[in-house]
Chains A and B, each alone.
Chain A
């Protein structure tokens, strides 16, 4: 049960599968969401994140598994009896009703009328800063305005849970960034549990308390943005969240150390893969450093030679793409005070073994991301 005092509902998804013939849209997915939490379902298209949302909303029935909202099983409960707010990517405002009538619609269905209805419609429109637009029709509003109205409509009846399906997907970047902050503010004000679907990892990092990363109908990892970035459980998660460099090569494990041969040069890190598989190393751009060939470096650091393929000045620093001896590419971020390198220049790539994350190779991780 949701603890009293919070208005959000807990969600418990246990071993849920959804099959269409032989195809599993959801394959044994389990996910617990705390009351009032902002949980983002992140993944490429077709990964199962929207199916999960539709299952919670009641638009899709599960093939097997258990689903509880606020401690009550909702398997088999029709969508209109679940009392869950949903915001759609394409707004889904009723074109034949004014903004005010759109927002009043769920209240009318709940028998709330007269002054009380008007008060709550105004409060909801005030929350999204759309009070002056009550008499307009949706077609007279911009995309961002329509989405704010949709947000008001989905929350006006105080649902304990709000589902959002790529709500900012159709908007341009500036508007999207501003609305992200608005959504964060509204989440704080309402205390409702938010489940947010997106394929945009930056958006997920900005908004969420926790993120569930979906791939091919399964959850790869659940964690805070920091956990996913620093400690990816799988190669897919590591590649999907943030920029990364993947080092692949013939591996040798001796004692507690794993070494890879990258085009004739050896790099090593402590540890070994627990569950077998071919080891690869994942490195974040800010953990890599560049040096001129032959320059002395700290002891114990790995060194790979390469050539600068692309140099991008970012203002707060620079970003380099370095082509390594085996033809693979490394992405390096350096601070303002770091040495700068030109395209075509021979460089050495340096990193500490401790910063390399050892993961099992997964060819599908590349396929789903390209």
Chain B
């Protein structure tokens, strides 16, 4: 639920620099009512339940901070909270490493191949998350495809299912499109003649990339990384199916409190802690994104 909120922030940081050079267009009040339906929906399905969760975390079973004292007083909760952030960060890193070259190639190829690459990114969206995760169970398990191949090559076997590595692999696969699409949308606006200019001025291909292309693609990197990270924080199905007791994420604990123990107060408190921790992290990361960076004129 926090995810959609912050994903929107990520999107804005990506597009803001591009608009910096243009004169700002202001609405004269008239068309503002056009946002009302979306606003009502957000308030109804996001704002109200969120408010109720926050309230219940203080109100159940009686008014007070007991749910928060319980959360921070129970070491296992803190370990899982930390693990949730570490796994999400790893997922963002894996998505970035896989997605950056992919998005770059998407900008460099012809229209037909680009369409094929976009389809490859989008097709997983049309397959249910549960089905995809179950496919990963088959691939990753001890007698699964990956380990069979490794054993066949005489490389021994790796324990993947019910480990953090397995969870990261599965989550990265599900979240990769959220990295690739913002990266692509920024990269396709980068003028490749800038790289050519850097080369003519004496920059080797590696330097031209590091000093010109990479800085210009950073808005996409930040946007993609933040979207993936935030979505990963709230992931439930994939870690629940691929993970084991040592890779439990906070969402599993929340589900356990709310649905198994019917303890809405504690579940709500965990949700609120996750939300606030996310905001704190974003506040720390925000200055990074506000580097002086302006797009040149394009015709």
Contact = CB atoms under 8 A, between A and B. Distances in A.
Interface of A: 57-59, 78-86, 88, 90-96, 105-106, 109-110, 137-140, 143, 146, 153-154, 157, 170
B202 A109 contact: yes
Contacts of A170: 299
Contacts of A110: 202
Contact of A80 (B193, B204, B297, B298): B204
Contacts, number: 95
A92 B207 CA distance: 17
Contact of B199 (A79, A137, A146, A157): A79
Given A88-B193, A90-B191, A109 B200 contact: no
Given A88-B193, A90-B191, A92-B194, A139 B201 contact: no
Of the listed residues A92, A139, A157, the one surrounded by the most CB atoms of chain B closer than 10 A to its CB is A92
Interface residues of B, number: 29
B296 A109 contact: no
Given A139-B21, A146-B297, A109 B207 contact: yes
Contacts of B297: 91, 138-139, 143, 146
B299 A105 contact: no
A92 B202 contact: no
Contact of B193 (A58, A92, A143): A92
Nearest to B21: A139
Of the listed residues A90, A94, A95, the one surrounded by the most CB atoms of chain B closer than 10 A to its CB is A95
B215 interface: yes
Contacts of B295: 95, 139
B201 A109 contact: yes
Contact of A88 (B197, B204, B205, B208): B197
A195 to B, nearest CB: 13
Contacts of B20: 139
B299 A106 contact: no
Contact of B202 (A80, A91, A95, A139): A80
B203 interface: yes
Enumerate the 9 nearest inter-chain pairs by beta-carbon distance, A residue then B residue, closest first. A95-B296, A92-B197, A139-B21, A86-B200, A106-B201, A109-B202, A79-B199, A137-B294, A139-B294
A80 B296 contact: no
Contacts of A57: 200
A93 B193 CA distance: 9
B139 interface: no
Given A88-B193, A90-B191, A90-B193, A96 B294 contact: yes
A106 B197 CA distance: 10
Interface string B194-219: 10111111111101100110011000
Nearest to A153: B201
B196 A106 contact: no
B293 interface: yes
B21 A86 contact: no
B201 A138 contact: no
A79 B296 contact: no
Contacts of A92: 191, 193-194, 196-197
